[in-house]
Structure 1
Amino acid sequence: MSDAKRTPLYDFNVAHGGRMVDFAGWEMPVQYASIVEEHKATRAAAGLFDVSHMGEATLEGPDAESFLNSVLTNDVSGMDDGKALYSLMCHPNGGVVDDLLVYRKREGSYLLCLNASNVDKDIAWLETESKGFDVSLVDVSDSYALLALQGPKSFQILGAISSVDLSGLDYYRFVEGEIAGVACIISRTGYTGEVGVELFVASERGEELAETLLEAGLPHGLVLAGLGARDSLRLEAGYSLYGHEIDDVVGPVEANLMWTVSLKKEGDFIGKAAILSKKQNGPEKKIVFFKTGGRRIARPGTDIVISGQKVGTVVSGTFSPILNEAIGAALVDASAAKSDELAVELRGKSYPVARTRPPFLPLNPQA
């Protein structure tokens, strides 16, 4: 991992026993103790995640809103100050450049949160497409550390150390304030399906904030959680991961993400024609989620079959500690997407799977 980047919390992660791995070119903790226990603790109490590998960019200017509406599938025109929005950014073919979060700070001023593996690609894409718009785009990824505090006790932990009253902070809203004297953007978003926040903080104060949150959270059952638990939590919640459920070819129609697409918003946006065509004519492939009924994990790349004939490929697979069975997602032929005869091919044997509509268990991040 000699060439891998390190987040501002690298020393914190190592000091607290993080097992570091290379993820998207970053040295990241895959786990601190047990992925299963970190997962369970996040569902029952709270988990603290270092997600500082994610990218951030500021977009400002009089044309910021119209530019974003031209490159995003969702509609930013209805956003007010303090609103966050999830959207896709698509290629002309309807495939996905990236999925991202957009934060409106004020009129003409936005913060974008980008996937770690796509930051350079996203910035280049946005810069190219911004020609002709009066906007300024700046990559500020190095300026931020990003912490995710997720779980049903998140707001109890924050209550005693926050300078602002978070009791009225609605889902997909954010405020600026201090946590234990550290200035943050406090965003009620997350990637686990649980109640929680994501905290954008100056990179040089990230470790200080992490230590404070850990100390405040321990009496509530908070644990440090790594990428392993983050992936199993997001898959239980049925959330897409770039490079798995969505990619340069697989778009919102295939991935059941049409709720992120505003076909009626004013003006055109990149990918609209292709998305509309797939919606009207039907896609060739579809993403389906499944349970295996056992503990044997179907890893990405595993064949999905019907009566021995390949009809698709697993794109995500993990073990659900809450369901005590393996779960996954697969990209399958559209004609097979509603079949009750899907199976995974493992070591030459077929094992039936049960199609499941996500989330895999009752979750309420808006509670």
Structure 2
Amino acid sequence: MTATADPAPEPTAPRSTPLEAVHRALGATMTDFAGWLMPLRYGSEREEHQAVRTRAGLFDLSHMGEITVTGPAAGALLDYALVGHLSALAPGRARYTMICDADGGILDDLIVYRTAGTAYLVVANAANAQTVLDALHERQAGFDAAVRDDRDAYALIAVQGPAAQGVLARLTDADLQGLKYYAGLPGTVAGVPAMIARTGYTGEDGFELFAAPADAEALWQALTEAGAEAGTGLVPCGLSCRDTLRLEAGMPLYGHELTRNTTPFDAGLGRVVAFGKPGDFVGRAALEAAAARAESSPPRTLVGLVSEGRRVPRAGYPVTGPDGTVIGEVTSGAPSPTLGVPIAMAYVDAGYAAPAPAGTSGVAVDIRGTRQPAAVTALPFYRRER
């Protein structure tokens, strides 16, 4: 009898957001991203990027993973499961935080909103949403709290850029002026119930709107029309320009700057770890050790690189010192539409982490066998005017 191999599993088709038909009608180039069919770009990536920097851009972020945590001990559960002090959040406020494993490795970076006294909304990256959901269920034992998968309950639309508030104000009577950064409030936008959050991933002011999937198309259309009426236009933007925007703003991307093999302290984000909160939390001992290492002798440091050539440093490219020795690795890189030069983030040996004096390089990126000089610079590359 001849043995036969098990058949290969059928590939799973990517999921679609409620706005897929809208994206296709706008001529978007679609791509499979984290198991979702998403718009990569609608036309020129540079024009989309510059629209967000100078006016306003419109993003479909419905691939993000929403998880609701409720109950008398919801805050205590999140304090134990995550590295931040979430029970200290005031209702209506949000916090950037992380969920780590017992060894201190980052499972995901998150935004957590306290939507009511005993209710929180955890927003995970699309690729890690199931991992975060599973971890919260595993860490739930002993807490009077419920963890609910709400990924199908929300569409998420973002309006980002200096004109974002003016555009959104045409469609809501919510107090946008009084809404602080990293805060959210329930409201109505163009007649659609939504949670309006002043958050984003572009380095600009802006808002993220959590609404029912059935309302997504109407909301997108109303925002587009409001942008035209405001005279600024509201440019639809894809994942490609979202990546260059966040890179210029020095914002980490999971799978690049953040991984299971890095701790928050490795990434220069130790501030998100709340050692002073009451009680224990998952990964505490490992993170205390990581904090001590970062204080005494950090192995590598996350820095910015500004390339002196035209070729773009890409993730995985080696970073070398003056003698050609490998001293680090690029984690993200792209042409910067704002600066007009290629930029990158990289982990480099701590001895090379100091910003280079003006007009000097000091390190190089090995781009397929060619060493291209680059200057170490402090992050972020771009900071908006307040």
TM-score bucket of the superposed structures, by smaller chain: over 0.9
Q: Please report how far the alpha carbon of residue 8 of structure 1 lies from its aligned counterpart in structure 2 after TM superposition.
A: 0.7
Runs of 5+ in structure 1 lacking a partner?
Answer: none
Partner of 1:180: 190
Is 1:278 aligned with 2:299? no
Q: Structure 1 residue aligned with 2:241, among 229, 246, 251?
A: 229
For 1:353 and 1:49, locate their aligned partners in 2 and report how far apart those are by CA, in whole Å: 32
The 3-state SS of whatever aligns with 2:87 is: coil
Match of 1:338 in 2: 354
Displacement, 1:339?
7.6
- Contact 1:163–1:180 under 8 Å retained in 2: no
- Cross-structure match for 1:322: 338
Q: Is the 8 A contact 2:107 2:260 kept in 1?
A: yes
* Cα deviation 1:169-202 (Å, max 9, x = unaligned): 1111111111110111000000001010000010
Identify the match of residue 266 of structure 1 among 278, 282, 289. 278
- Identify unmatched segments of 5+ residues in structure 2: 1-10, 357-361
Question: CA RMSD of the aligned region, Å?
Answer: 1.4
Q: Distance in 1 between matches of 2:310 and 2:258?
A: 26
TM-score (norm 2): 0.91
Aligned to 2:302, the other structure's residue is in SS state strand
Amino acid across the alignment from 1:258: G
Aligned length: 365
Deviation at 1:264, TM superposition (A): 1.3
Q: Aligned residue for 2:255?
A: 243
Q: Residues 143-187 of structure 1: CA distance to partner in whole angstroms, max 9, x if unpaired?
A: 111011000000110112113221111111111111110111000
Once residues 314 and 235 of structure 2 are traced to their aligned partners in structure 1, the CA distance between those partners, rounded to angstroms, is: 27
CA drift of 1:249 comes to 1.1
- What is the CA-CA distance between 1:104 and the residue it aligns to? 0.5
Give the match for residue 212 of structure 1: 222
Task: Give the C-alpha shift of residue 335 in structure 1.
Answer: 4.0
Letter in 2 for 1:327: I
Identical aligned residues as a percent: 43
Residues in 1 aligned to 2:237 and 2:255: alpha-carbon distance in whole angstroms = 22
1: distance between equivalents of 2:148 and 2:28?
32
State the partner residue of 2:266: 254
Is 1:311 the counterpart of 2:327 in the alignment? yes
Instruction: Provide the C-alpha distance between the structure 2 equivalents of 1:297 and 1:99, rounded to a whole number of angstroms.
Output: 27
- State how far apart, in whole Å, the 2-side matches of 1:237 and 1:188 are: 17
Tell me if the contact between 2:14 and 2:35 (Cα under 8 Å) persists in the aligned partners.
yes
Structure index of larger Rg:
2
Q: Which residue of 1 is the match for residue 115 of structure 2?
A: 105
Maintained 8 Å contact 2:308/2:372: no
Give the superposition deviation at 1:2. 6.9
* 1:142 equivalenced with 2:179 (yes/no): no
Residue 91 of structure 1: which of 95, 101, 122 is its match?
A: 101
Runs of 4+ in 1 over 6 A off after TM superposition: none
Q: Secondary structure at the match of 1:88?
A: strand
For residues 213 and 237 of structure 1, what CA distance do their matches in structure 2 show? 25
8 Å CA contact 1:295, 1:324 repeated in 2: no
Confirm or deny: 8 A CA contact 2:354 2:377 kept in the other structure: no
Q: Which region of structure 1 is more displaced relative to structure 2, 232-241 or 287-296? A: 287-296
Tell me the equivalent position of 2:28: 18
Give SS of 1:229's match: helix
Look up the SS of the partner of 1:353 in the other structure.
strand
Does 75-84 or 286-295 show the bigger shift?
286-295
Give me the TM-score of the superposition, normalised by structure 1.
0.96
Please give the secondary structure, in 2, of the residue aligned with 1:142.
Answer: coil
Answer with 151-160 or 74-83: which moved more: 74-83
CA distance in 1, matches of 2:133, 2:194: 24
